Structure 1
Amino acid sequence: MNSLLGKILTGICAIVILWCGSQSALAGPLSDRLAQYPNWDARSNLARSEGELTYPEWFRGRWRATSTLLEQIAPLAPVIVTPGFESNRQYIDKSIEFKVQFIPTNPNRNVKFSPLNLPKLPSNLPSPQIVADRAFNGLNIAAAYLGAANVKSVKIDPQNPTKQITQLTQDRQLEAFVTGFDREIPAPDRFIATELSQQVFRTSATIYLNTVETTTSYQYSATPTPKITATQISAIYLSPQDPDYFRTRGRAVALYKYQLNLIPAIDTQL
């Protein structure tokens, strides 16, 4: 199980599955947070999330992504080491490829319409916003790390757009949902985002819970061909239900650093 769980944690951390937050025009706490790596003594204090993250327009379309694990650290080893940490070493400097896409969405899609009580909508509706296609992205990432034969489905809870459920073979399930987020736009070609998410991995015999903080700094280049590069840091924290939780004193038990590269996929441009 440790090997499988390690693959799942690595896959989930490979690319950010982000939701909405307020926009900042200048560098701020997220830039500082990245600069402090690996000295993350406590997780970020983020506001609770509602809705979805809107990306810059240059994310629009389908991309061929390459994720490479550059480094992993267990700050509390050998006293506390997360399941699958050692098996994740096989991914260091190994590139994993998958497709992701970012799609336009109607910002008023959550408005409830009734044939007896149609709401009055303003004539100057905002333009469609760019969001991650979480089901598409989650399925491709899971298949890349776990093997397509081991992934039955990836679904988004229709009542909670921040909740993703990955159903695996042999009655195994990974549930992840965002609890907090923030983002910054230091420059027109840069985008930084962070999120906190709760993850629950269930099998017929066990349940494993943790909290994941993921911070990613994206850089866009339009010439000679569009390209997005990113540095991503993921930190794993134990849940309060873990018997070692109080021994950690709120510190991360695992840190992962990735390099992400996205180039346009030639099959579809949304």
Structure 2
Amino acid sequence: MLLFTIKAVLSFCLIVLFLLASVDAKAGELSERLAHFPQWEKLTSVQPATGDLVYPEWMAGNWQVTSTLVDLAAPLAPDIVTPGFEGNRQQLNKPVSFLVRFVKERSPVTKLKFLPWSNNKGETLVADRAFNSLNLARAYLGDEAVLAVKVDPDSPNRQITFLRGDRQLVSIVTARATENTSDGKFITTEVFQQLFKGSSRPYLNSVESTTAYQQLSTSNPAIEADQVTAVYLSPQDPNYFTAGSRPVALYRYRLEFFPSQVITTNKE
């Protein structure tokens, strides 16, 4: 059960998740996708992930995030249900809080013309993925269960979560897209492969996380987000062809961002 719990809850960070050149989705596709939950199939308009995901300037700084699972679905039940699905149902409507931060990063000059939010110093805003993922994982699993999170220095799209008992969760972002709506929402979608190592047989699956962020006129919260994480079977799974392009589990979260004055330091 721990395996599937990790897969569900790490989405937000893999999630508060990662572009140097934003890939625009077809007009309205991502917002329409969120509106039609849980009738989902795999996205086809995402592009291979390169570089890091750039966020709008209004997301800069330190935040206390409250994440609440508000809905979940197993579209292929009762024929196919992931072992951790019913266990995750216990998290419904139970808020979980943790710290995250978004930081400025120097952008390669050759990429600047593609970055809508790069400033005149050539900087862009990105998520501190190691910090965010570590805080999220520990909020759900406990400080003792999660040892560290490391991001590949050669690729911002690959990270490893080190768990107690010589277990690891390797997450690799493979594709993404973004969308800006007329009502001010910034929507991202990321597709990543997750490999859980440490059991007798490594387990691989594919996860898509789609999040719509919106800046509010208040500071309590200052940002809210609607997020859906979809879990798909890997080709190695015996039910892969039965599932086809449909997800086997869907989790919908409400995220609220409150300004934090806490001095954040990595807790590794």
- Normalised by the size of structure 1, how large is the TM-score? 0.87
1:232 equivalenced with 2:227 (yes/no): yes
Cα pair distance change 1:188/1:19, threshold 3 Å: farther
CA distance in 1, matches of 2:26, 2:204: 35
Query: What SS class does the counterpart of residue 18 from structure 2 fall into?
Result: coil
Cα pair distance change 1:224/1:232, threshold 3 Å: closer
1:168 equivalenced with 2:167 (yes/no): no
1:131-174: per-residue Cα shift (whole Å, max 9, x none)? Answer: 00001001101101110101111000112110010000101100
* 1:256-267 → structure 2 map (5 Å cutoff): 256-267=251-262
Partner of 1:118: none
* 1:175-194 → structure 2 map (5 Å cutoff): 175-187=170-182, 189-194=184-189
CA distance in 2, matches of 1:26, 1:39: 18
Partner of 1:12: 10
May I ask how many residue pairs the two structures share in their alignment? 256
CA distance in 2, matches of 1:24, 1:86: 35
Cα pair distance change 1:103/1:199, threshold 3 Å: same
Identity among equivalent pairs (%): 46
Residue type of the partner of 1:38?
Answer: P
Residue type of the partner of 1:70?
Answer: V
Runs of 4+ in 1 over 4 A off after TM superposition: 23-27
CA distance in 1, matches of 2:46, 2:25: 18
**8 Å contact from structure 1 (residues 213, 234) kept in 2:** yes
Partner of 1:212: 207
Which 5+ residue runs of structure 1 have no aligned equivalent?
Answer: 112-123
1:43-75: per-residue Cα shift (whole Å, max 9, x none)? Answer: 444110100011000110010001000111111
**8 Å contact from structure 1 (residues 166, 175) kept in 2:** yes
Which 5+ residue runs of structure 2 have no aligned equivalent?
Answer: 112-118
Cα pair distance change 1:76/1:108, threshold 3 Å: same
Name the larger-Rg structure: 1
- Superposition deviation, residue 249 in structure 1: 1.6
Among 144, 159, 168, the residue aligned to 1:149: 144
CA distance in 1, matches of 2:248, 2:220: 39
Query: What SS class does the counterpart of residue 198 from structure 1 fall into?
Result: strand
1:179-209: per-residue Cα shift (whole Å, max 9, x none)? Answer: 1000012248421110101001111412111
RMSD: 2.5
Cα pair distance change 1:24/1:241, threshold 3 Å: closer
**8 Å contact from structure 2 (residues 24, 177) kept in 1:** no
Residue type of the partner of 2:9?
Answer: G
CA distance in 1, matches of 2:186, 2:263: 23
**8 Å contact from structure 1 (residues 26, 187) kept in 2:** no
Larger CA deviation: 77-86 vs 221-230 = 221-230
- Superposition deviation, residue 41 in structure 1: 3.2
- Superposition deviation, residue 130 in structure 1: 0.4
**8 Å contact from structure 2 (residues 8, 229) kept in 1:** no
Query: What SS class does the counterpart of residue 255 from structure 1 fall into?
Result: strand
